[in-house]
Amino acid sequence: MPPAPRREDGAGPIALYDPGRMAFFHYMFGRFFRTHMRAARVARWGVPGAYGDRPLVVFANHPGWWDGVAFMLLSQRLFPGRRMFIPMDAAALSRYRFMTRIGVFGVEHGSPRGAVAFLRTARQVLAAPDRMLWMNAPGRFSDVRERPVPIAPGMARLPEMAAEAMFVPLALDYPFWSERKAEMLCAFGPPIPAAELLAQRREARLATLSAALAATMDQLAGDAIARDPARFETLLQGPEGMGGIYQLWRRLRSLAKGETFDPRHEQGAGKGT
User: What confidence tens digit (pLDDT) does each residue in 200-257 have?
Assistant: 999 999 999 999 999 999 999 999 999 999 999 999 998 875 555 545 545 566 566 6
168 and 251, same domain (yes or no): no
Indicate whether 5 belongs to any domain.
Answer: no
197 and 226, same domain (yes or no): yes
Indicate whether 56 belongs to any domain.
Answer: yes
Q: What CATH number is associated with residue 168?
A: 3.40.1130.10
254 and 182, same domain (yes or no): no
Domain total of the chain: 2
137 and 265, same domain (yes or no): no
Indicate whether 124 belongs to any domain.
Answer: yes
160 and 251, same domain (yes or no): no
β-strands 183-188, 56-60: how paired? unpaired
The reported pLDDT for the residue numbered 96 is 87
221 and 248, same domain (yes or no): no
46 and 161, same domain (yes or no): yes
245 and 161, same domain (yes or no): no
pTM for the complete prediction?
0.85
2 pLDDT more than 50: no
Indicate whether 26 belongs to any domain.
Answer: yes
Give the burial string for 30-65 (b: 16+ CB within 10 Å, else e).
beebbeebbbbbbbeebebeebeeebbbbbbbbbbe
CA angle 98, 161, 106 (to 5 degrees): 20
96 and 152, same domain (yes or no): yes
Query: Which domain covers residue 80, as residue numbers?
Result: 13-239
244 and 136, same domain (yes or no): no
101 and 181, same domain (yes or no): yes
Q: Residue 252 CB: number of other CB atoms within 10 A?
A: 11
The model's pLDDT over 24-65, given as tens digits with 9 standing for 90+, comes to 999 999 999 999 999 999 999 999 998 999 999 999 999 999
230 and 149, same domain (yes or no): yes
* Residues 6 or more apart whose Cβ sits within 8 Å of residue 97: none
The model's pLDDT over 259-272, given as tens digits with 9 standing for 90+, comes to 664 455 565 555 54
Which has more confidence, 1 or 76?
76
Rounded CA gap, 74 and 77, in Å? 5
Indicate whether 6 belongs to any domain.
Answer: no
Segment (H or E) for 252 = helix 244-257
